[in-house]
Each structure stands twice: as C-alpha cells, then as structure tokens.
Amino acid sequence: MSEPAIVAEGLSRSFGNLVAVDHVDLRVDAGQFFGFLGPNGAGKSTTIRMLTGLLAPTAGRIQLLGLSLDGNATEVKRQIGVVPEGLALFDRLTGSEFLNFVGQMYGLDRATSAQRTAELLDFMDLADRPKTLVVDYSHGMKKKLALSAAVIHGPRILFLDEPFEGVDAIAAGTLKTMLHNMTARGATIFLTSHVLEIVERLCSHVAIINKGRIIAQGSLDELRAGVAAAHVNGGVPAAAQKLTLEEIFLAVVEPQGASRKSEEELSWLK
C-alpha cells in the first residue's frame, strides 16, 4: 500500500445548527487522481476548505503528506496548490503581476517566478492581454489564472474545486493533459466536479458525499461492483455490471428518488 497524501479522520463542521460535514473519513494515496463528488450543498466545498486550511473543522483530524495541518500549516501549505470555489484572485492586478505575486508568496525567487509566469500565461492563452486587470477577465480566463496560480510552485497535492467550470473545451483538454502528467510524476490531485464524464475519464478513485456524510468511496471498479451487487440483491439483472459514473452516482445518492423524479411532471406543463 502506498503512502497516503491526504488523510481525514472524523472531519466535521457545523454552522450553527447545520451540520455541513459530518464525521468524514478520507484517504487519498500519493499519485492518485481523486474525484470528490456530491449533489449541491452536500459538503464538498466545505470539506475542501477544511483540507486546505481555509476553514477550521469543528472536529476531526487532517494530515497532508504525513504532516498534521493543525501544527504545520505553513509547511503543509508550501506543498499544496488550491483552486478554491471563489478563485481567490487579487482582481486589481494583471494576470502576470498576480502570478508573480503568488510565486513569490510561495518562496520562488523573482527570476523563477517570472519565468514560470511567462510560461503559464502562454500555456493558458492569457499572454496576449498583458495589461488587462483580472477584474476585466472573463470567468473562464479567471479560472485559468487561478489554475496557473495553483501550480506555479509545483505542488505535491493539488486541490481543485470545479476546475473545468467555465473553461472552454480546448483549454480543458490541455489542462487534463497537464494534470495527468502531474499525477504521472507523483503529484496527488483532489478534484470536485459536477461534470461526471470528466471525473470518470480522469479519476482513478472517487468518494461521494451526501448531506455531509461519505456514502461511497473507492476505485471506480469497486464502486461499480458495489452498486451492481446491490442491484442484483434488489432484483435488478446482473447485466447492469458496466455502469457509468452518472448511474453509480444516481444509484448511490438517490436510490429511488432519481427515477421517480424523472417520471414526474409539473402540473402546468403536462
């Protein structure tokens, strides 16, 4: 068994009476491309915020690369890259200024930071707008800039909250290649996305969270086998062995509800 890059034990977070994340246990091995899925409001972003040090857990323990996040925050942060939900951009800087800033914040010297900035801007097709402030970027451009900022220091773990949302197909293709190459070199990627086809194509392992609790976790084949077995036990033919991730997701999150809802109609649209 390989060394775990991300370990979360009993991770919980409450906002007043609302329990957003409820005793979540996660284990992501080094070099894994890990998909973290769940319906809207399930607790995905809250979990990522806790794992990246943006939000304090109410209870539980987080260990990244063998270091506890609680006592080694600075050292851990040096080794991770994050694209948070809100992108965390300084919108009155130009793209180049922002990447240089981030590079230096992670301890890169000026020359290295400038060289990587130029390379990333060119790669992300942002280089032809050198004087444009981030506030004037389109949503897709902002997303690409946030991704660039997440990788400029060569992180060992990359947390990506909906990285492909708003990114055009060409850029998405290039990004996927870049992320694959990163995992091939040993980096770990923790990704949330609502586009299940992308997760299915990219990720080797998946966890599904619903109402703050992890309801399924494992490799895609393990999840497929689990769902198929449950269906067989429930009387569904074993031909359903080759399930897509979307089918697995629906089967796990809403075993009966999804099919019932798709058959329902709104009274005035009948």
Enumerate binding residues for another protein (CB under 8 A): 52-56, 73-79, 82, 84, 86-93, 97, 100-102, 104-110, 116, 119-120, 122-123, 125-126, 128-129, 132-133, 135-138, 140-141, 149, 151-156, 170, 174, 177-178, 181-182, 185-187, 268-270
Count Cβ atoms below 10 Å from residue 237 Cβ, excluding itself.
9
How far, in Å, are 8, 70, 235 from residue 67 at the CA level?
A: 12, 9, 46
Q: How far is the CB of 133 from another protein (least distance, A)?
A: 8
Count Cβ atoms below 10 Å from residue 213 Cβ, excluding itself.
16
Cα–Cα nearest to 63, from 96, 30, 21: 30
Q: Which is nearer to another protein, 14 or 39 (CB)?
A: 14
Cα dihedral angle (173, 175, 26, 186), rounded to 10 degrees?
Answer: 120
Q: Which is nearer to another protein, 30 or 240 (CB)?
A: 30
> Strand 33-37 and strand 205-210: pairing?
parallel
- DSSP letters, 57-98, are -SEEEEEETTEETTT-HHHHHHTEEEE-TTTT--TTSBHHHH
Q: Which is nearer to another protein, 26 or 51 (CB)?
A: 51
Q: Which is nearer to another protein, 110 or 197 (CB)?
A: 110
Q: Which is nearer to another protein, 201 or 257 (CB)?
A: 201
Cα-Cα end-to-end distance for the chain: 55
Q: How far is the CB of 201 from another protein (least distance, A)?
A: 17
Q: Which is nearer to another protein, 75 or 222 (CB)?
A: 75
Q: Which is nearer to another protein, 106 or 211 (CB)?
A: 106
Q: How far is the CB of 69 from another protein (least distance, A)?
A: 12
CB 174 within 8 A of CB 98: no
SS3 category, 118: helix
Amino acid at residue number 172? A
d(CA 122, CA 15) in angstroms, rounded, equals 42
Q: How far is the CB of 43 from another protein (least distance, A)?
A: 16
